[in-house]
Structure 1
Amino acid sequence: MYTNADASLQFSTSGILDPSTVSIVNLFINGILQPSNTYVVQPGVLMLSDVPFQGVPIIVQFIQISTS
């Protein structure tokens, strides 16, 4: 489990957002897009089914699509 406190401040632009407030959530581990059934995103929390090796970059991407 990862929380907002685990973020690397030099690269973080936001905390872990509520997935109900965005259009798309993507998770990349070591640059590889992960299937959505291998993780759960909740406000401020990312839970993974498998733990990556220490030091491997984890990127959670939030995309908001609007019609205006």
Structure 2
Amino acid sequence: MTDEITLPVFVRVGEADEAHFGDLTITLSEGRIELPHYRREMASFLRAAADEIENPSPNEGDDDAAP
């Protein structure tokens, strides 16, 4: 059985409330997180988040649109 740890990722900009961007699941190696693997996975997660910010899904944010 492969051990994993799931880390919630929150982002806050300035004084705004933090937002839960998602969860990052990392596979453990001998019960430990290998730093190079963690960095690779976190970078991939943040790239995907940046892509979603730059190119939102259709209808994303329609509820929050200014009148």
TM-score (norm 1): 0.26
User: Which one has the bigger strand percentage?
Assistant: 1
Q: Name whichever structure is richer in helix by fraction.
A: 2
- What is the TM-score when the length of structure 2 is the normalising length? 0.26
Higher relative contact order (CA 8 A, sep 6+): 1
The structure whose Rg is larger is 2
